[in-house]
């Protein structure tokens, strides 16, 4: 048995037979056209655009019925691209040089792929994916391409394996019976295709380097979505063990779901709160079904980046209001746009050597207020319909906080003048996700209503490692003494100022880390909705005083002994409970 390591996207265990979904090879029809043929070929291109538009509209409608309107917004950018005069002129110009339509499409596609090779920014890569997807659709249309038929044997479990998937390749998978998992050799968690694929409810692992050279159609593989591992041709004994583990996990999940509506109280009677991180309005309903007591992080970037134009104030207002309809009186924390300058103003800002440390998030929004103000107006208007709160991403200074709050007040004044209702006491919180904000979290807490600790970025920025870089990913350690001390300091800063603090990151969704966070005195957690039932089941069986005792003792030790002690004591006291998950 061989094991390949990838990146987890959707948890669970999937066992099945490999179906390799190869990228279609459509050989372009190469021919030098005469002037009269060029005219006919351009006409053929325009007709093909209309036919593809019709197909996309039909797919959007079907997808909206299956998983919601917001998910289908991805394809709005495809429709807009088919109306983009620069894109159309690029292809028509190539045809005018005497190339056939299919040949011209291949030439333009290669041109954009070369741009893709030189670009590191994920958003710009996503735009290239959109272009390639649209070109691929046109090529398939004009060549009358028929996709390969996947295996559809009775009761067969399928694991789809591919280099990558385009957004338009996801909707047909909703019709694929027996699909249990997806393994991609490439891929990105933020890709439109992956965001859509998560709605399939199957186990997903991406970044499985070399997988296509290791498997063939029909091979038996096991995909562990929690660990991000793929086991190839496992032994009979291993399959027996993994079958048992999967059944136990399914049984545990069923039991956890049975408790989602139970009170969020530890074994010794302390309240805790579980919130959800979502990025589409439709997900709010799923979050509540999983036991979320509100939304701790609503990422607004998906709405912004799935369109080629800035969303208007009204469209944002309607989007937020739709999410609120499912939440009743539950809290709804909306994070302002967390994107980089070259993502939304690529024509004005040069490519940054290190976008993660560049003009992004609140820095960009304060720099380009024409984008932030409509969002603030939309959020404030939505606050009239529920418990809406505003969250500021990547805050690093009190000056940024002051400027942001002043802009909120100016926006409120403008709404008052126009008689537009909103919650006058709307709360404003700050994401603590860089060391700079962590070390001044006491001052930030005094000037905000709540703190949200973004552990994913905080760990990366503090330890100076990129967890997606396989050369250094092993250094990503949530239990590093510097991280533990920082979390303790942030929690105490909020407590001294009488402000609520919660953890919003993957630490919340791991039982071991959740117990340690509880021991630090943090009682509010926000995570992917899929993990809420299990974390709730775990925390309901924990005595918070015992967890605090373990954590307090760890802080009395030297830095090199803290992690070992925590793992040993949590295992000794709560090991059986953790292993159940």
Beta strands 450-453 and 331-335 are: unpaired
Task: List all residues 6 or more positions away from 83 whose beta carbon is below 8 Å from its beta carbon.
Answer: none
Q: What is the mean pLDDT of each successive set of 10 residues along the chain, which is 581 residues long? A: 85 90 72 87 94 91 73 75 86 91 89 64 62 88 80 80 89 88 85 80 90 92 89 88 78 74 92 91 82 93 62 89 87 89 48 67 87 95 96 95 97 97 97 96 97 94 78 82 96 97 91 95 92 90 95 94 93 82 63
The pLDDT value recorded for residue 353 is 61
The torsion defined by the Cα of 333, 337, 340 and 346, in degrees rounded to 10, comes to 160
Q: Are residues 550 and 446 in the same domain?
A: yes
Q: What is the helix (H) or strand (E) element at residue 304, kind and residue range? A: helix 301-305
Within 10 A of 506 (CB to CB), how many other CB atoms are there?
18
Domains in the chain: how many in total? 3
Answer whether residue 29 is part of any domain: no
Q: Are residues 380 and 397 in the same domain?
A: yes
The pLDDT value recorded for residue 77 is 74
Q: Are residues 194 and 66 in the same domain?
A: no
Q: Are residues 103 and 183 in the same domain?
A: no
Cβ pair 71, 282 in contact under 8 A: yes
> Looking up tokens 């036991």, which residue turns up?
291
Q: 14 - beta bridge partners?
A: 223
SS3 (DSSP) at 172: helix
Q: Are residues 51 and 190 in the same domain?
A: no
Answer whether residue 245 is part of any domain: no
Select which of 144, 243, 347, 504 is catalytic. Answer: 504
The pLDDT value recorded for residue 314 is 92
SS3 (DSSP) at 320: helix
Q: 192 an active-site residue?
A: yes
Answer whether residue 176 is part of any domain: yes
Q: What is the CATH number of the domain that holds 160?
A: 3.50.30.10
Answer whether residue 308 is part of any domain: yes
The pLDDT value recorded for residue 376 is 97
Q: Are residues 398 and 288 in the same domain?
A: yes
Q: Are residues 155 and 194 in the same domain?
A: yes
Range of the domain at 204: 2-22+148-236
Answer whether residue 258 is part of any domain: no
Answer whether residue 357 is part of any domain: yes
Q: 504 an active-site residue?
A: yes
Q: Are residues 77 and 220 in the same domain?
A: no
Q: Are residues 512 and 571 in the same domain?
A: yes
Task: List all residues 6 or more positions away from 501 whose beta carbon is below 8 Å from its beta carbon.
Answer: 445, 450, 451, 452, 453, 490, 491, 494, 495, 522, 524
CA distance 95 to 91: 6
Q: Are residues 558 and 476 in the same domain?
A: yes
Closest CA relative to residue 278, chosen from 467, 10, 530: 530
Query: What does the block give as tokens for 459?
Result: 């760990």
Q: Are residues 156 and 290 in the same domain?
A: no
Closest CA relative to residue 369, chosen from 396, 397, 404: 404
pTM listed for this prediction: 0.73
Select which of 78, 132, 144, 192 is catalytic. Answer: 192
Q: Are residues 214 and 67 in the same domain?
A: no
Closest CA relative to residue 195, chosen from 316, 280, 134: 280
Query: What does the block give as tokens for 283?
Result: 């997900």
CB neighbour class for 358 (10 Å; exposed up to 12, middle 13-18, buried from 19): middle
Q: What is the CATH number of the domain that holds 130?
A: 1.10.274.10
Cβ pair 230, 183 in contact under 8 A: yes
Domain boundary among 216, 236, 256: 236
CA distance 158 to 252: 24
Answer whether residue 576 is part of any domain: yes
């Amino acid at each position: 048995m061989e094991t390949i390591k990838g990146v987890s996207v959707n948890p669970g265990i999937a066992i099945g037979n490999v179906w390799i979904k190869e990228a279609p090879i459509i050989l372009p029809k190469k021919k030098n056209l005469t002037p009269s043929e060029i005219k006919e070929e351009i006409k053929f291109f325009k007709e093909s655009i209309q036919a593809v538009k019709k197909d996309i509209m039909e797919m959007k409608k079907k997808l909206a019925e299956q998983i919601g309107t917001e998910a289908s917004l991805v394809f709005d950018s495809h429709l807009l691209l088919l109306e983009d005069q620069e894109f159309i002129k690029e292809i028509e110009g190539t045809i005018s040089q005497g190339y056939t339509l299919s040949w011209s499409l291949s030439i333009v596609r290669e041109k954009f792929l070369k741009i893709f090779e030189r670009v590191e920014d994920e958003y710009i890569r996503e735009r290239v994916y959109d272009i390639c997807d649209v070109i691929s659709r046109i090529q398939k249309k004009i060549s009358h391409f028929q996709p390969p038929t996947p295996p559809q044997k009775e009761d067969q479990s399928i694991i789809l394996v591919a280099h990558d998937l385009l957004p338009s390749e996801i909707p047909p998978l909703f019709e694929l019976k027996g699909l249990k998992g997806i393994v991609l050799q490439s891929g990105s968690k933020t890709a439109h295709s992956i965001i859509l694929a998560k709605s399939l409810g199957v186990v997903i692992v991406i970044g499985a380097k070399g997988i296509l050279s290791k498997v063939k159609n029909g091979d038996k593989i096991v995909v562990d979505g929690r660990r991000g591992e793929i086991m190839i041709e496992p032994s009979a004994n291993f399959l027996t063990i993994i079958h048992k583990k999967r059944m136990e996990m399914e049984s545990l999940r069923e039991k956890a779901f049975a408790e989602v509506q139970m009170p969020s109280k530890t074994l010794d009677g302390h309240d805790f709160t579980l919130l959800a991180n979502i990025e589409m309005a439709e997900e709010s309903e799923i979050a509540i079904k999983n036991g979320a007591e509100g939304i701790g992080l609503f990422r607004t970037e998906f709405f912004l980046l799935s369109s080629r134009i800035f969303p208007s104030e009204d469209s944002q207002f309607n989007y937020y209001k739709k999410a609120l309809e499912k939440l009743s009186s539950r809290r709804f924390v909306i994070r302002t746009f967390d994107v980089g300058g070259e993502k939304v103003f690529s024509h004005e800002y040069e490519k940054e050597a290190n976008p993660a440390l560049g003009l992004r998030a609140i820095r960009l929004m304060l720099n380009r207020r024409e984008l932030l103000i409509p969002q603030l107006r939309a959020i404030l208007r939505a606050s009239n319909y529920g418990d809406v709160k505003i969250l500021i991403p990547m805050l690093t200074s009190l000056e940024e906080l002051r400027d942001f709050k002043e802009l909120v007040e100016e926006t409120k004044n403008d709404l008052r003048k126009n008689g537009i209702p909103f919650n006058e006491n709307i709360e404003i919180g700050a994401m603590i996700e860089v060391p700079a904000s962590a070390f001044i979290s006491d001052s930030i807490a005094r000037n905000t209503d709540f703190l949200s600790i973004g552990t994913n970025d905080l760990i990366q920025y503090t330890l100076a490692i990129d967890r997606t870089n396989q050369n250094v990913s092993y250094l990503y350690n949530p239990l590093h003494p510097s991280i533990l001390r920082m979390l303790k300091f942030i929690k105490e800063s909020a407590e001294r100022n009488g402000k609520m603090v919660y953890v919003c990151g993957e630490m919340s969704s791991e039982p071991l880390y959740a117990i340690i966070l509880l021991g630090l005195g943090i009682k509010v957690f926000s995570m992917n909705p899929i993990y809420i039932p299990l974390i709730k089941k775990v925390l309901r069986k924990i005595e918070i005083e015992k967890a605090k005792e373990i954590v307090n003792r760890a802080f009395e030790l030297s830095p090199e002994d803290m992690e070992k002690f925590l793992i040993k004591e949590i295992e000794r006291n709560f090991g059986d409970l953790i292993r159940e998950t």
